[in-house]
Chain A
Amino acid sequence: MLEIKNLNVSVENIKILNNFNLQIKEGEIHAIMGPNGTGKSTLSNVIMGNSRYKIDKGEIKYNGVKINNLSVDERARMGIFLSMQNPISIEGVQNSDFIRTAINAKEEEPVNLYEFMADMMRETEELKIPEEMIYRSLNVGASGGERKKNEVLQIKMLKPSFIILDELDSGLDIDSLKICCKNIKEYLKDHKDTSLLIITHYPRILEYIKPTFVHEMIDGTIVKTGGMSLALDLEKHGYNSK
C-alpha cells in the first residue's frame, strides 16, 4: 500500500528525514515512536504532500504509484488521510459544509443532502460530539480534544484507505481517547484493507488499537522495529537505550 524508499526531506534547508524507509501493507497497523523533533510530523506532512517539506531524494509510492509530485488534494482523493497533530481552525467555513465539499470532491455524483446529514448525525453521536459543532465554523473555539474528535469524524465520513494519526492521543481525555479508538477500530473492521500509521509518545493508544509493527525513530530514520513489546520497552527505558 505505502512504500517509502530512501527518503530525504528538508524543511527550510534543514535536513530532517534521513534515508527513511518504511513499507506498509494492506490492513497493517504501524506505530512510530520517537523523541520530539525527530521528524515524525515531517514524515506525515510529506506523505500528505505539504509543499513546505521538500523531498531531496527518495520516493513515496502509494498503491504502486509514485506520488512525490502529486498535489495534496490528489493524494487525499487517492485515499490518504492525515489526522493532524494540531488541526487548525478556519473562520466562516462551516464544519458540515466543509465535510460535504470534501466528500463531493471525491465522488462523481454529489451526495444526497439528506443522507449526508443522517450520516453526520449518526457519527457525531457515536463520537459524542455535540450536534451544534457540525454547524460551527471549522474548529473555531474548539478545544484541542474537540479538534481531535473532529478529525476522527472526518475519517468516518470521508472513508480513507490509508490513515495517519499524528498524536491523536495528545489532547484527548481518557474517555474521549477510548471513544475515538473504538470508532477507528470499528471503521477498520468494516474496511479491512485500510492501513494505519499511528504516531504517538504513549503505548496507551496502542493498547486499544493493536499495532502489527512498532518502530523507533531517531534523527529522521527508523532505528529499530518490533512489536507491542518495543512500545512498552520504550516507555520504560526511553529512546535509544542500547
Chain B
Amino acid sequence: MTITGLNEQNIREISKIKDEDKWILDYRLKSYQLFNKLDMPKFGPKIDIDFNKIIYYKDKVNELDSSWSCINPSIRSEFEALGVISSEQYMSGMGVQYESEVIYHNMLEELVEKKVIFTSIEVAMKKYPSLVKKYFTKIVGTAENKFTALNGAVFSGGSFIYIPPNTTLERPLQSYFRINSKAMGQFERTLIIVDDNSKLHYIEGCTAPTYSDSSLHAAVVEIYVGKNSYCRYTTVQNWATNVLNLVTKRAVVEENGSMEWVDGNIGSSITMKYPCCVLKGDNSSGKCITIGVATHKQILDSGARMIHIGKNTSSTIISKSIARLGGNASYRGKVEIKKSATNSHAMVKCDSLIVDKNSKSDAYPTNICSTKESSLEHEATVSRINDDALFYLMSRGITKERATELIILGFIDNFTQELPMEYAVELNQLLSKNL
C-alpha cells in the first residue's frame, strides 16, 4: 500500500492503517488545515516541491520486531551493508526506520528493568498515551512553520524515548532512518523525555540512495530535559543529494539541565535545520556543535538557536561550514537572551572554509540580548585553504588532493572529536570519499 499526494482522504487513510485513536486523527486534520494556511519559509533557499507527487506513506515491509532474524532478509542485508547492524554492539539500544515505519527496536535487558522506554511513536501513543500527550507538540508547536504542520498531518515513525528519573545510560541509544524509494517522503516524529537527574546520549543516522525524483524529509524532534538531567543528540545526516531535508528540532531544558546537539550535515540537496535549546530553567545550559559540508549544488542552511529564559543560563554554538565545488554552506542562527535571563552568557563561533571560487558560505546571525546583566559574544571567521599549509604538507610528499583533505578534516576536527569513535572513523572515510 502506497499513499501518494496530499489531501484529507489520504490523511484519514494513513490514520486508519495505523489504527489510531481519535485524538490523533483530529490532530492530523487540524495540522493539515494549518499546513494549507501557512506560507513557505520566507528566508533561506528557495524550495520547490510538488506536494502532490510525494509518497506520504508506504506500508510496512515488516512488523516491528526486536530480532534481526525476523526482518525480511533483503532489507536485513541492506542494513548489514550500511554497518547499522554491527554498530548495535556499541549501543544501549537501537531502532530502525525503513520508509514510513519503524521495523526494528531492541534494547538491553537491564534498561527494560530500569523502566526505560524506547519504541516507535505509534506504539508509544497506544501504550503510553498520557505520557505522550503531556509533551507531544508542547515543545515544537504544530503551527511553527509549514513543515511542522505537514509533519503533524502525515507523521509516521520516529522514536519515543522515556528515561525515568535517576537513570543514567552508559551507552547511547541509536536510531537509523532509511529512505529507499524515489519521491518518498519521510515524516518521522521523535519525542524524547529525559526525566529528572538522568542522562541520555541519542544518536541518529540517516541515508538514502540517489534517485531522479526528489525525496522529502520533514521531521520534528521534541526533547524534554528534566531537572539536573543531561541529553546529547548526535546526528550525521548523509541523505542523497536529491533529498530535501527540512527538520525542526527543539529541546526544552529545565533547572540545572544540559542539552547538547552534535549536528553533522553532509548530504541532501537542501537542508534547513536549526536545532534549538530553550533554556527555561535557572542554571540550565545548551550547546550546539554543527558542521555543514556542501558540494556541487548543495545548499546547507543550518545553524542553531538558543533561547535564554532562566537565570544563570549559558549557551555555546560552534558552527563550521565548508563549501566546495559550487556548494553553499551557510550559518543561520539565533541567540536570544530574554529579560528574565539575568547573569547569563552566550557564545557563538562560526567559521567557514571556502575551498574554491564557485562556492559560497554566508552567515545570518541574529543576536538579541535584552538584559544588561548578561553577555553575548559572537565570533566569525571566513578562510580559504592556506597556501602555506598546503606547501608544508606537500613538502613532505603528500599530494595536493590529500593535503587539501587533511586541512579540511582538520578544520572540522572539533566536531569529529565529539563523535563516538566508530562514527568519527566513518565520517572521515565518508568525507575523504566525497572530497
Q: How far is the CB of B410 from chain A (nearest CB, A)?
A: 3
Knowing A73-B398, A73-B399 touch, does A98 contact B406 (C-beta < 8 A)?
A: yes
Chain B residues closer than 8 Å to A133, beta-carbon distance:
none
Asked if A87 CB lies within 8 Å of chain B CBs, one says: yes
List A83-104 residues whose CB lies under 8 Å from chain B. 84, 87-88, 90-93, 97-99, 101-102
| Pairwise interchain contact B397-A77, C-beta atoms closer than 8 A | yes
Asked if B418 CB lies within 8 Å of chain A CBs, one says: no
Asked if B395 CB lies within 8 Å of chain A CBs, one says: yes
Asked if A82 CB lies within 8 Å of chain B CBs, one says: yes
| Pairwise interchain contact B392-A106, C-beta atoms closer than 8 A | no
Closest to B412 in A: A92
Count the B residues whose beta carbon is within 8 Å of the partner chain — how many? 24
| Pairwise interchain contact A92-B400, C-beta atoms closer than 8 A | no
| Pairwise interchain contact B400-A88, C-beta atoms closer than 8 A | no
| Pairwise interchain contact A87-B392, C-beta atoms closer than 8 A | yes
| Pairwise interchain contact A92-B402, C-beta atoms closer than 8 A | no
Task: Tell which of A76, A82, A84, A92 has the most Cβ of chain B within 10 Å.
Answer: A92
Q: Given B387, B392, B406, which contacts A101 in the complex, CB threshold below 8 Å?
A: B406
Chain A residues closer than 8 Å to B400, beta-carbon distance:
71, 73
| Pairwise interchain contact B413-A105, C-beta atoms closer than 8 A | no
Count the A residues whose beta carbon is within 8 Å of the partner chain — how many? 30
Asked if B48 CB lies within 8 Å of chain A CBs, one says: no
Chain B residues closer than 8 Å to A72, beta-carbon distance:
391, 394-395
| Pairwise interchain contact B398-A91, C-beta atoms closer than 8 A | no
| Pairwise interchain contact A98-B393, C-beta atoms closer than 8 A | yes
Q: How far is the CB of B211 from chain A (nearest CB, A)?
A: 35
Task: Tell which of A71, A77, A102 has the most Cβ of chain B within 10 Å.
Answer: A102
Q: How far is the CA of A48 from the CA of B399 in the complex (A)?
A: 14
Asked if A50 CB lies within 8 Å of chain B CBs, one says: yes
Q: How far is the CA of A48 from the CA of B390 in the complex (A)?
A: 13
Q: How far is the CB of B429 from chain A (nearest CB, A)?
A: 14
The tally of CB-CB contacts under 8 A between chains A and B is: 79
Chain A residues closer than 8 Å to B399, beta-carbon distance:
73, 105
Knowing A72-B391, A90-B389 touch, does A154 contact B406 (C-beta < 8 A)?
A: no
| Pairwise interchain contact A106-B397, C-beta atoms closer than 8 A | yes
Chain A residues closer than 8 Å to B413, beta-carbon distance:
91-93, 137
| Pairwise interchain contact A88-B398, C-beta atoms closer than 8 A | no
Asked if B409 CB lies within 8 Å of chain A CBs, one says: yes
Asked if B10 CB lies within 8 Å of chain A CBs, one says: no
Asked if B50 CB lies within 8 Å of chain A CBs, one says: no
Asked if A222 CB lies within 8 Å of chain B CBs, one says: no
Q: Given A52, A82, A92, A106, which contacts B395 in the complex, CB threshold below 8 Å?
A: A82
Knowing A52-B387, A90-B392, A92-B413 touch, does A102 contact B398 (C-beta < 8 A)?
A: yes
Q: How far is the CB of B321 from chain A (nearest CB, A)?
A: 15
Asked if B414 CB lies within 8 Å of chain A CBs, one says: yes
| Pairwise interchain contact A73-B394, C-beta atoms closer than 8 A | yes
Chain B residues closer than 8 Å to A97, beta-carbon distance:
406
Knowing A50-B391, A72-B391, A88-B388 touch, does A137 contact B410 (C-beta < 8 A)?
A: yes
| Pairwise interchain contact A105-B397, C-beta atoms closer than 8 A | yes
| Pairwise interchain contact B397-A158, C-beta atoms closer than 8 A | yes
Task: Tell which of B386, B387, B394, B399 has the most Cβ of chain A within 10 Å.
Answer: B394
Asked if B407 CB lies within 8 Å of chain A CBs, one says: yes
Task: Tell which of B392, B402, B411 has the most Cβ of chain A within 10 Å.
Answer: B392
Q: How far is the CB of A197 from chain B (nearest CB, A)?
A: 15
Mask of B241-265 contacts with A, CB within 8 angstroms, 1/0: 0000000000000000000000000
Mask of A47-90 contacts with B, CB within 8 angstroms, 1/0: 01111100000000000000000011101110001101001101
Knowing A91-B413, A93-B410 touch, does A76 contact B392 (C-beta < 8 A)?
A: no
| Pairwise interchain contact B387-A91, C-beta atoms closer than 8 A | no
Q: How far is the CB of A27 from chain B (nearest CB, A)?
A: 22
Knowing A71-B400, A72-B395, A73-B398 touch, does A92 contact B387 (C-beta < 8 A)?
A: no
Asked if B127 CB lies within 8 Å of chain A CBs, one says: no
Knowing A50-B391, A98-B406 touch, does A91 contact B396 (C-beta < 8 A)?
A: no
List B395-429 residues whose CB lies under 8 Å from chain A. 395-400, 402-403, 406-407, 409-414
Task: Tell which of A51, A84, A97, A101 has the most Cβ of chain B within 10 Å.
Answer: A101
Q: How far is the CA of A106 from the CA of B391 in the complex (A)?
A: 17
Chain B residues closer than 8 Å to A106, beta-carbon distance:
397
Q: How far is the CB of B351 from chain A (nearest CB, A)?
A: 10
Q: Given B395, B403, B411, which contacts A91 in the complex, CB threshold below 8 Å?
A: B411
Question: Can you report 8 A-B residue pairs in the complex whose CB atoms are below 8 A from each other?
Answer: A51-B391, A76-B398, A88-B388, A91-B411, A92-B411, A92-B414, A99-B396, A105-B398
Which B residues have a C-beta under 8 Å from some C-beta of A?
386-389, 391-400, 402-403, 406-407, 409-414
Question: Shortest 3 CB-CB distances between A and B: which pairs?
Answer: A92-B410, A92-B413, A76-B397
